[in-house]
Chains A and B, each alone.
Chain A
Amino acid sequence: MAAPRRKRETGAAAPVGYTAIPIKLSEKQRSPHYLYVKEHKVREGTDTTHPPNRTLFVLNVPPYCTKACLSRLFSCCWSVQSVDVCEKPGPREKSEAPKSKFFNLKTVPGFRVAYVVFKNPTGIQAVKSLSLQGPLVISSESHPVKTGIRKWISSYAASVVDPVELKAEVDAFMQTYDQKIAEEEAKAEEEEGVPDEEGWVKVTRKGRRPGLPLTEAASLRVLEREKRKRARKELLNFYAWQHRETKRENIAQLRKKFEEDKQRIALMRAQRKFRPY
């Protein structure tokens, strides 16, 4: 999010359609950082996760400003229903599985965008007035934001996992997974050899006569075998024209190599590579 930050240098002037809200990490800081906000508007139905009218679109969220911080900052306008921080604007990908505490941990780095969903549309209007007030403070005494050494120590502490918890989660996941696989297999077995309504029977890798696997490697192998078979039948340098052709090819190769060498030499000459010392 380089662009908006640069705008800031020219003062609090926000780009068209946006409102600039000054924020500070702590009271000690002298110059504020600006968040750019506007009402989240997209064509009907393209974004289902962020309801229109009550969603605020926030740009230029600094790395030290977490979800909780945003929620707290904007709660002065209206109570916040949810906050969504992501790298790029756009609808949130459907989170398929329940979030795991140990696997696929992803943090959004750098300066980000956020969607703040208020409980009521009036929140949006209230936000616009924030720009006129003094900077909002992210880290206060009641709600300190950990930075630097303290932050790293706490993230180190978080990286130390509790084996029991981890084991429980793994077991639970594997149980569902095994169940799923078992179901799929049972279904496949049921369909084995049973023709569909047009009478086609699906050939699978299971059963008495397994078919070829439908993979790229397998089809390449077949092609390769064909080629080899053909090559075995062919006689080399049998006919006079074949002989001629080989010779011609040989000379062509030499020529090509010569040309390449010449090019290389020209290049080296240009780089003065032939000065021995």
Chain B
Amino acid sequence: MRGKTRADGGGGERVTDNVEGDMEAEQENQDVPKKGKIQGRKRTSAPDSVVKPVKLSRADLYKPPTNEELNQLKETENLFHSSLLRLQIEELLKEVKLKEKKKQKIDAFLHEIHTLLSAVPETPETDLVDQSWLPTDVKVPFLQVPFSVKGKFRFLPPAAVKVVGSYLLGTGIKPEINVDVALTMPRTILQDKDNLNQRYHRKRALYLAHIAHHFSKEKLFGSVRFTYMNSNHLKPILLLQPAGKDEKLVTVRLYACPTPGFFKPTRLYPSKNNVRTAWFLEQGSPGEGATEPPTPHYNNSILCDTVMESHLLFLSGAGADFPGMRDAVALLKVWLHQRELDKGLGCLSGFLASMLVAYLLAKHKISQGMSGYQVLRSVLQFLATTDLSATGISLSKDAESSLPTLADFHQAFDVVFVDPSGLVNLCADMTASKYKEVQFEAKRSMEVLDDRTVDGFQLLLMTPKPLVRTFDHVFHLKPVSKLQGACKKMQLLTELMDHGGNYVAAALPFVTSLLARGLAERVMLLTHSLPQAPQWPISAEPPKHKDAGHLSFGLLLTPEFAASILEKGPEADQPEAAEFRRFWGEKSELRRFQDGTICEAVVWGAETICQKRLIPEQIVKHLLWLHADIPASAISYTGAALESLIRAGPEPAGTGEEAMASIVRSYDDLSRKLWNLEGLPLTVTAVQGTHPALRYTDVFPPAPMKPDYSYHERMKAKESLLPLAEKPCPAYISPMKVVCHMEGSGQWPQDKEAIKRVKAAFHLRLAELLRQQHHLLCRPAATHTDVYKDGYVFRLQVAYHREPQILREVVTPEGMLKYRDTEDSQQLELETLHLPHLTSCLHGLQQQYPAFSGTSRLAKRWVRAQLLSDSLSEECVDLLAAFLFLHPAPFTPPSSPQVGFLRFLHLLAAFDWKNSPLIVNLNADLKDADYTEIRNHFVAARSHLPVMFVSTPRDQRSSVWTKERPSTQILQRLLVLALESLRALEKQLMDPLGSQDMKMVFRPPLDFYDILIHLNVKQIPRHLEGVDRPAKSFSRGMLKSDAPVKTLFFPVVGYDPVQYFLQELREAFGDLALFFYDSHGGEVIGVLWKPSSFEPQPFKVSF
């Protein structure tokens, strides 16, 4: 027997899976109706929500193809990535495009508006400042600061009413259908010098106010409101919505425009001034001799109005014979919307997107035959590779020398994209950092599109990227009025004039460049939210600048540099040193470095890793205070909002990274000792840790412990301590499993019972040798040996590599030796093969991404806080967290636990568990072909597979970590909880004034359970790990780890009365109820009856 089995390794696994699978299939089928009941509300129309392999008859598959079909197949191959993408895009466009029937309604509405407009009565001519003719229930939608201005105004019905913009081009998309209508103000309203000092803008506002006053009485409109065009407060517009049930259908936006040709373009060049300093500062007479600064943004805002119609003509010219353009613009709009780039001051609006497409067409970078998808790709490619903040582009064709050059535009604006007229900068309000973000997003998106293993459609167009979920650190400036002080400090009077007193817009570019310089290589990307103006009823005063809400900034950190505590400057005698000192203020000091140089440097105070993660916060607060007079109290910084949940003690304690590093050190030392043990009959071939602390994902890593004898009973004979019933139970010491592989040898018996005995003998021997050679306290048992080392307890388990195989052996009646998976063999394989491998992979991952540990632990903490500790395996959560780092698209790998956790919740809630396998490509071992194979296998065997299917390179087909749990119902509940938690948490994180109790989503709703079992807190060994730190704590019989006592008795290991209780409950009543518990110091056990428990059942002796 012993000699013969050497030759046949492997082999048996593949066949065995099927047998297993068939058995599971039956169970699964019974589960299906239950599933339907739970979520019936959602899927009324979906008859069967699982994709099944298609079975086409032979005749269907092999019939001769028609020409048409061949063409279509070819086109799909050429124009799109795959047929799936093509179909997906078609569906998306169907969803967002306006239906023909709705268009008719809108057209009718527009006609009515047209007739009403010509009926608005005229008003007599008055001074601009004399607004008494306007009824008091309409307020001028303009911040008239300073108020006094020359000029006269009267209302006359518009000279022309024209629909412009996306509606006519067919590029408008749901859910916000806007129709832009340009009203041309008759020439007689305007006067010669209207381009000066906001006169034109005020006339515009009065013009719209008068119309609003009359329209508000009409029954036709459901609502008449004002807002600012693209949140630019110089440009109010009037919003009209139809009355009745179509109110939400459409918003008609009225723009007032000057008569074409009224303004001389030369006066509005970017280098010209049109806002006089004296007027703006309300000084009596203009300052003598001072040159007036240029006001490019102000000029641009007037010029915009003069070219609306010509832009429409230009775009419709480009879109003619180009069906792909319409689709492409719609797709681009969706893409922008998902990235929150399409709204607010300085956004990349849909209009701008159309212009970009037109530009590419004009430059022959795309052709009219391209599909929407191809155009989208080209636009993204263009954005990714072109930096409009350095090299602007222009649509202007004529090379007339009188027009301003691109260089002129760059002088005046951050981002340059000149329109066909050569006068207007379409990106005037965009900041350089916003454009950088667009570019960054475009680059990421191109990577996604080129990656064949991911579903690009889902990631690019269907996944929203809100600020808090995208950026590692987010901070809010609140109130924004602090920026007024910043403007003063940074001397931005010119910019203020240019932006008509909007200090947010004026200060923003300077604040971002300040921060970008300060954070330098610590951040990959720094961005800010776009200030957004609300809509307001016509009877209300227009919102002030400070009403723009708060301003949020997002930082994308570079893991290598973000946590460095040193900012090294130039050498002290260099001329740059003074500048460095000026920039960093008193934080800068002279330091001598190891290489002997003496340099200016800034050193940030941070001890632990979690403090180091927050160094960007220190920098931001310091710089904003130093250079912009913004106090730290006005900055609400959220980068570590959740870290108190994984902190082992009160504040100074770190978040576990250091603790785990010390465990790993101790473990490394132990494994070295094991390798070098003398006197073992076989050598140790490998030592592999499997405890989560050894892969940095233990929520609360074990702390070094020293037992206090007086709290324990002593078992003299066995050198062990026992808990005392009358004392609070001792602190929990988690044994850390370490698998110790022994060399294979002919000496190993080939019988499973005998192997067990040999392993026990090894455990005894290991304990003896470790004690003799290294003086470690050891306690052997049949299945393991516990080693007490540096205050930790390691549990050594000897493994023999052929044991799982031997457990699988089955001999058929013919004498054929077969291998069939058994429960024991699978369990053993899990413990000695899969888990060590996973642990080493994730250990590696942590070295690459320092935020992995925090992410995974927060995720586990959350799952357990929902009382689902035992419903989802620990390793499964680890893998989900690893997925976020290995496959971050459309995001970047998280660099802070907070953002990682948010994405974990999103992944849980948004992933299509039913129809897709979650593929975690650990060590990048999977190739493209493997992906396809896994997916195909998944579809073919879906009904046999676990509800949550997680595939890794070493476990492609069976998803070992989710096999037993979660069940369908638990998964369902988990998804609901994740969705709710995500919503609540993101709301809290985006609200700088809120109560900020981030722990809210970690407190489970208890009203959901039928019974609550409240536990005696004295007997909860991990009570201190609770979400809310208990007010009263007990002494748990442990000395300080540095107490000068030598431990001679083995401490109590792995003793948790709550777990024993739970086990007994489950054993006794598992068929009647489900038990839920938070293993981190939960005080209650939630009990839920199974629905079948209360149905009468026939008496049965056995079942």
A-side residues, CB < 8 A to B, are 2-4, 6-7, 15, 59, 62-63, 88-90, 97, 102-103, 109-111, 113, 148-150, 152-153, 155-157, 159-163, 166-167, 170-171, 173-174, 177, 181, 184, 204-206, 213-221, 248, 251-252, 254-265, 267-271, 273-277
Contacts and interface: CB of A to CB of B under 8 A. Distances in A.
Contact of B11 (A62, A97, A220): A220
23 contacts: A7-B1099, A63-B1067, A110-B1070, A149-B1057, A152-B1055, A153-B725, A156-B723, A162-B717, A170-B758, A170-B764, A174-B757, A205-B4, A213-B5, A213-B817, A248-B62, A255-B56, A259-B54, A261-B83, A263-B51, A267-B49, A267-B915, A275-B95, A277-B464
A268 B91 contact: yes
Interface stretch (B285-293, B626-634, B644-652, B779-787): B779-787
Given A103-B757, A218-B8, A267 B781 contact: no
Contacts of A181: 1-2, 749
B56 A261 contact: no
B360 interface: no
A217 B1 contact: no
A149 B725 contact: yes
Contact of B757 (A6, A113, A150, A177): A177
Contacts of B61: 252, 255-256
B929 interface: no
A199 B779 CA distance: 58
Contacts of A159: 781
Given A174-B757, A261-B87, A270-B46, 7 more contacts: A63-B1068, A103-B757, A251-B73, A254-B73, A259-B56, A271-B42, A274-B462
Contact of B84 (A62, A256, A261, A270): A261
B1097 A2 contact: yes
Contact of B749 (A155, A177, A267): A177
Nearest to B14: A220
A214 B718 contact: no
Contact of B92 (A156, A171, A262, A274): A274
Contacts, number: 216
Contacts of B760: 102-103, 166, 170
B754 A256 contact: no
A15 to B, nearest CB: 4
B56 A6 contact: no
Contacts of A163: 764, 767, 780
Contacts of B96: 276
B264 interface: no
Interface of B: 1-5, 7-12, 15, 42-43, 45-47, 49, 51-54, 56, 60-62, 65, 73, 82-84, 87-88, 91-92, 94-96, 175, 334, 337-338, 461-462, 464, 715, 717-718, 720, 722-725, 729, 749, 751, 753-754, 756-758, 760-761, 764, 767, 779-782, 815-819, 912, 915, 939, 1019, 1050, 1052, 1055, 1057, 1060-1061, 1064, 1067-1072, 1093, 1096-1103
Contacts of A63: 1064, 1067-1068
Contact of A256 (B15, B46, B54): B54
Contacts of B12: 216-217
A114 to B, nearest CB: 13
B464 A166 contact: no
A111 B461 CA distance: 55
Given A63-B1068, A277-B337, A89 B49 contact: no
B807 to A, nearest CB: 13
Given A102-B760, A163-B780, A258 B91 contact: no
Given A275-B95, A276-B338, A270 B49 contact: yes
B718 A267 contact: no
A205 B723 contact: no
Contact of A161 (B47, B175, B781, B1072): B781
B43 A271 contact: yes
Contacts of A171: 761
Given A163-B780, A213-B8, A218-B8, A4 B754 contact: no
Contacts of A252: 61-62
A171 B211 CA distance: 102
Contacts of A220: 11
A215 B818 contact: yes
A58 B232 CA distance: 85
B7 to A, nearest CB: 6
Contact of B1072 (A2, A88, A149): A2
B51 A267 contact: yes
B816 A265 contact: no
Contacts of B334: 276
Interchain residue pairs A-B with the least CB separation, the first 4? A217-B11, A109-B1067, A205-B4, A270-B46
Nearest to A87: B1102
Contacts of A268: 88, 91
A251 B338 CA distance: 37
Nearest to B762: A170
B749 A3 contact: no
Contacts of B1072: 2
A156 B87 contact: no
A213 B1057 contact: no
A88 B1102 CA distance: 6
Contact of B8 (A88, A103, A109, A217): A217
A174 B754 contact: yes
A4 B1071 CA distance: 13
Contacts of B815: 214
Contacts of A256: 54, 56, 61
A161 B461 contact: no
Nearest to B58: A252
Contacts of A149: 725, 729, 1019, 1057
B723 A216 contact: no
Contact of B1097 (A6, A148, A258): A6
Contacts of A3: 1097-1100, 1103
A103 B47 CA distance: 52
Nearest to A255: B61
A77 B588 CA distance: 93
Given A260-B51, A271-B43, A162 B718 contact: yes
Nearest to B721: A160
Given A160-B720, A161-B780, A174-B757, A276 B53 contact: no
A216 B1019 contact: no
A184 B717 contact: no
A237 B138 CA distance: 82
A236 to B, nearest CB: 20
Given A181-B749, A258-B73, A276 B1067 contact: no
B915 A276 contact: no
B91 A269 contact: yes
Contacts of A102: 760, 781-782
Contacts of B87: 261-262, 265
Which of A148, A174, A215 has the most B CB atoms < 10 Å from its CB?
A215
A219 B7 CA distance: 13
A214 B817 contact: yes
A186 to B, nearest CB: 13
B751 A177 contact: yes
B935 to A, nearest CB: 11
Given A102-B782, A276-B95, A265 B46 contact: no
B1099 A260 contact: no
Given A260-B54, A277-B337, A205 B91 contact: no
A275 B334 CA distance: 10
B4 A103 contact: no
A271 to B, nearest CB: 6
A216 B338 CA distance: 55
A178 to B, nearest CB: 8
Contacts of B761: 167, 170-171, 174
B764 A167 contact: yes
A258 B1101 contact: no
A191 to B, nearest CB: 14
B1089 to A, nearest CB: 12
Contacts of B718: 160-162
